[in-house]
Structure 1
Amino acid sequence: MAATLKDVALAAGVSIKTVSNVINDYQHIRADTKQRVMEAIDELGYSPNLSARSLRSGRTGVIGLAVPELSLSYFAELADAVITAAERRGLKVLIEQTGGGDRARELEILRSPRLQMTDGLLFSPLGMSNEDAHYLDVNFPLVLLGERIFGGPTDHVTMSNVESARAATAHLISKGRRRIAVVGGHRGEVIGSAGLRLRGYQQALEEAGIPFDPALVGYTTFWHRANGATSMRELLESGVEFDAMFGMNDTLALGAMRVLQEAGLRIPDDVAVIGFDDLDEGRYSLPTLSTIDPGRLEIADTAVRVLQERISRRDGDVPPREFEARYQVIERESSALPG
């Protein structure tokens, strides 16, 4: 039979009320008492009844996370970081996929009856735009992730896209590279990761006195390995000369690297490469992939913390806030100077 509150209380040597207080994350509980209760919960495999908990406290202890697609490694690793950050705060995470930029699906998520199972939502749209900001004016705690909407009615946790892309490009320039291709551009995009990172790339070129050459921009629709590979084939077939490449995410960079090596080009001797996102797989590619760490762990921790604040306070008097994570250039073999 499933363990009950009474079983946990007996195992921990506390009252049923104390166990309930620990589960509901009440503040004024001694650390040693909380630890005993949590150990008893783990030992017995106790799982709170979310429906009953919701009726008693108005909260479920569950938050939602809506991301475009878990097949993109960045969002899979972001989800993992969110789950870890939530667990530290005694929260569980319900994950939804929005379909990789499907605006209708994203709007549907904001109206989904499944939100009744959660206390709030972390939401990372790709299909919505600034014109859709009014849809974020909802009656439940919501924290926005990503770069599609700025100045909206909700808290927003984002990364330094322009500055970090400028740093990635400047890193290649510091290695003596002057003809830097970029893979992952979206035609006509201004707001959004691709548009912002292209702006950072152009700023770094301008600061170094290097003219921007549109022929060096490889455009894609999506940011999967296949798109990076296709974009790099097109750049090579065009005959444009380049001695470095900035992949707008690691997945694109890894796909492009494969094509470069198939073409007999050496990395980094012939073409230095840097990506973006600091995915775990980049540590094990051959060569290992230089990249930008955009502060994914900080983004996850900040987003969960801010959402929990909104859940606890339900305070509409605090205006929407914007948080920007710190980034770091990580040099590995793909951009290291030969020799």
Structure 2
Amino acid sequence: MSDRWIEVADKVWVRRMEELDQSLGLVIGEECCLVIDTGVSADAGYAFATAVRELTDLPWQVAYTHDHFDHWFGTAAFGESAVWAAGDGATYLSRGDEQRKRWAAKYRGQGREEEARRIARSRLVPPNCRVNGAVGLNLGGRTVVLRQVGPAHSDNDMVVEVPDAGVLFAGDLLEGGAPPSYGSAFPYEWPQAVEYLLSWKPPIVVPGHGDPADYWWARTQARDLAEVARLCREVAQGFVTKEEALAHSPFGAEAMTAALERCEALTPPPPEPAPPAPAAAQGPPPPVIVYDLFDYSIDMTR
């Protein structure tokens, strides 16, 4: 599969990427456009920016759905612009530097030296516009809603709603073609967040990876996310074994294992037992005093 555009609604586009089967977004208004995520590296970002210019020459703004590297390492190609995200810039930079090292090493281990170099030389561009709650962004004749969500797939998820077109860009809260990633997720909260997002029944749902889909596909995945959460809870409570959970996971054993491990990592340790009370000084037991009082008289002459 080569990179290609899919127009899912009027002036709402999805860029389907060959690398990681990713879906990037573009929403075009009358005065500016919104770019949703930017790709795995600066090189991928330059290719994406060039493709955007094939569709519009309007000024752009950028939105990050979350801080995983494949969603924002390409932003340097977009120059000076507003960059919206639910997470703060300092956290993006610290996590991004760690991810850059880890993924460059991973690609080298796979013999993909050129991909490793592309990630290693990518300049990280942190967000400069913070989203707390929801922000309505006027693109000129069209308003999109940037909505903070979570914790769910990560601790800084954000979605983009295009109400006039009935489109929801869900980021990695929903995945097409591959199981959801639980590595930094919150398995118990994730299905609740997705159910909330789907409450307006968007006809078109764009996952972070995989092809655009519809509301009913998204509802099916929300149900499966809830089943994973239920299995995690039952394993923690001892109602089912880990092996039973792996065998009955809707997303397969690998994703279920990651979800269980993540739940364990998020569970606080049990409280330390209270120290024993100091022993009383040894000695004879205190005396026991029993009061047996009679304060009445009986007149036997009556």
TM-score w.r.t. length of structure 1: 0.23
Which of the pair has more CA radius of gyration? 2
- Identify the structure with the greater helix proportion: 1
